[in-house]
Structure 1
């Protein structure tokens, strides 16, 4: 059980945050199964603590909203629940808790507005500086549509396999259709020869290094990678590009503004922790 200044944290809030942190890491392929669950749970608890501390501070600083404002906001809340399929019986059962949540939300909105009102206005120079520092985020990597022929050396003398691949490359360079050669001679299980579009993501990977050194329509030399001999042909290629500032300036402004506001809240939560009583049971 987690208690902040005497208030018991809702376990559901912690579980929701835990699931979000873990899902984000899984999307980035940074985690498998349960190896970092303890870390994610701690992050979830810390986020919940910050949220409760800020909500408590909002209640202390901001007076309750006027009855008319509560009524209007509460009706909007009920409409939203109904739009998402909630029955009137469910809403009646949850009426008091929903009303309390509505009042808390109104106070928090007024509270955060007061915290953010003194932030200096963002300038174009601010946005340009952020863009330059994060330009890699707006870079589209080179991409190539590739055909692939692979052979796994099986005999005692690997020269036979290498010579066969050299001959296949020569035939392709002499005008034979690479796709047909690949279909007839690839040793890949399943016989797939069309790799589709591949983005360059690992510049030191031998396969990608070879593929993205080729020009459109070019057949690679025979090369060895992951215990196999390979030939690839680039059917079509697209060069790397960077989205211009003008195209992403609105997105940048939104993100920079959001980050500044979150930093204000985080800094305040850090200060509130200094005098808070946080108990884990």
Structure 2
């Protein structure tokens, strides 16, 4: 599961969709956050707490309430069943994404990256067209309490960040012939069996119990019990449970990390240690791996594309780390 670096216009519009962060006491947002505050006082609509601070800006709970509301209000009826730790982790992730955006914009301005009025106008026209016309889009902004000036300013920030990333980061990435050959020589497809115990919406104590359960299952597999039988009995992955946990011939990069890395590095026939992904706790057994049998010249463009994307992701990660140092990034509150 790869992270796509450029922030899409769809995400921009979704963030703007609920731009108010101070809500009247009779509003549905105020009622929602009052309920949420019963689980985590952090989201009290009467207060604002700093989550992240730098030497350029601060991110508070009030800054991120719009997107928190947009996402979590869909689960309003289930709030009491969502663990506090999961809610606070989500809040922290939203704050982190907002901080990254602001650091990127600050750096773009520091490096004198600017967009032209023409490029801004053309992007607005595309948005109007996708929304069914300018009048409909502007009416939607009014309905949501967003001024056209606010929208235009946010769009300008977005386009500036995209231009900065393209010119200063992505366009500098290249792939050598040596890198292509090395990649071609690696295994490109894997077949594994795995067992998953889902940890989503589980408390810390429940997660601890699930990890211990997985360790017990792993011990039984190491002692010679049939892995496929154990997967059919215990795995909570609906996509592979009935097939004994089998995933066949998936490509390198197709799976979430660290599942993907383990599948392509663990020796064939071996059983992994217990590891965790956003879905839960896993163990896997590598059944087979294969190199790409197609001629190099036939798949070279595909490999260049994959390697370029991997290097862009790595470059972005390194950039964010350097910006955190430059702007003295500090977490003022952490759910962990």
What band does the TM-score fall into relative to the shorter chain? 0.3 to 0.5
Structure index of larger Rg? 1
